Amino acid sequence: MVGSGSDIRVGDAIVYSKYGGHTITIAGEELLILDARDVVAVANIAGKPIARKSNKPDPRRTAVIERLENMLTSVAEIQADEAAAFRKKFVRAMMVAEVDPVPAETRAQTQRLARQRERLLATGAYTTDALGELRGDAKSTNTHTWLSRRRKANALFTVTHDGNTLVPAFQLDGDGRPRKGIAEVLDALAPARLGEWATWTWFTSATPWLGGAVPSEVLAEDPSRVARAAARFASNAA
C-alpha cells in the first residue's frame, strides 16, 4: 500500500473503494497496489495485538514504496504519451478524410453572426479616437473618462470589436452627446439582458412593438414611444 495509512498486517481483511488501486503482475502473481486514501476499513481477523510502530523507518519498506511510486509514475507517463500520439493520428486521419471537426450548424451560425455584425458596423460607429475628435476633447483620457461615466449611468452602450470599443453612432447627436431618450430606452431594455451586440440589433431592426418601424429611426422624433416598445419587448423576453 502506497502512502501512510492505518496499521495493516498480513491476514487482515481490507475494504477499499470500488475503483481504487492499480493491478500489476510480478512473477506470474497478480498484485493490487492501494493508496492509503482508497482504504475504507481494516478488519483484524487474526485478533492479534497490533505491534507498536517503530519511529525508525524500515529501509526495505521505503525502497519498495519508492519503486512502486516510480512504477506508477512511469505508467502515467506512458499513458499520457500514448494519448498524445493517438490525438495526432486522429487529427491526421480526419485531415486525410477531409472531415471537418466543426459541425455544419455551428459554422452556419458563426457565419450568420459575422454577417449580422458586418451589417451593424455598416450603420456607423465611433471609435474612442473618433469620438474624441467629434467632441473636441483635448486628451484621449478625457474621452475615456466621459465614455466610462456615460456607460455606468446607462446613458449609452458600447460594443467591442477586434479589441476596440465602439459607440454605435445613432446614439449621439452632432456634438457627440447622447440623444434624448436613449437612457430611458436602455433602462426599459435592461430586464431582457440582451448583451451589447443584441442591443444594437434591436435598435436597428424593425419591431412589431413599433408597428414595423426601426427604433433607432423613431428615437429622434418620439423617444417615449421607443421606450414603451422596449419595455413591452423586455417583458416578453424576460
Better-predicted residue by pLDDT, 204 or 66 = 204
In tens, the pLDDT along 30-49 reads 777 777 777 766 666 555 54
Decide if 7 contacts 39 (C-beta within 8 A): no
What mean pLDDT is reported for the chain? Answer: 80
CA 204 to chain centre: 29
Assigned C-alpha cell, 197: 451586440
Cα–Cα distance list, 53 to 4, 49, 50, 194 (Å): 12, 12, 9, 66
Distance between CA 202 and CA 131 in Å, rounded? Answer: 23
pLDDT over 50 (residue 21): yes
Looking at residue 23, its pLDDT comes to 75
Better-predicted residue by pLDDT, 27 or 188 = 188
In tens, the pLDDT along 79-129 reads 777 777 767 766 665 555 555 555 667 667 778 888 888 999 999 999 999
**pTM to 2 decimals?**
0.55
Better-predicted residue by pLDDT, 75 or 206 = 206
Nearest residue to 182 (alpha-carbon basis) of 160, 212, 211, 203: 203
Looking at residue 120, its pLDDT comes to 92
Assigned C-alpha cell, 231: 419595455
Looking at residue 2, its pLDDT comes to 45
Better-predicted residue by pLDDT, 48 or 191 = 191
Type of residue at 2: V
Domain ranges of the chain: 1-53, 123-237
Distance between CA 202 and CA 209 in Å, rounded? Answer: 11
Looking at residue 96, its pLDDT comes to 57
| Residue 168: band (very low, low, confident or very high) from pLDDT cuts 50, 70, 90 | very high
Residue matched to cell numbers 453612432: 169
Percentage of residues in the chain with pLDDT exceeding 70? 71
Looking at residue 202, its pLDDT comes to 94
Distance between CA 168 and CA 163 in Å, rounded? Answer: 15
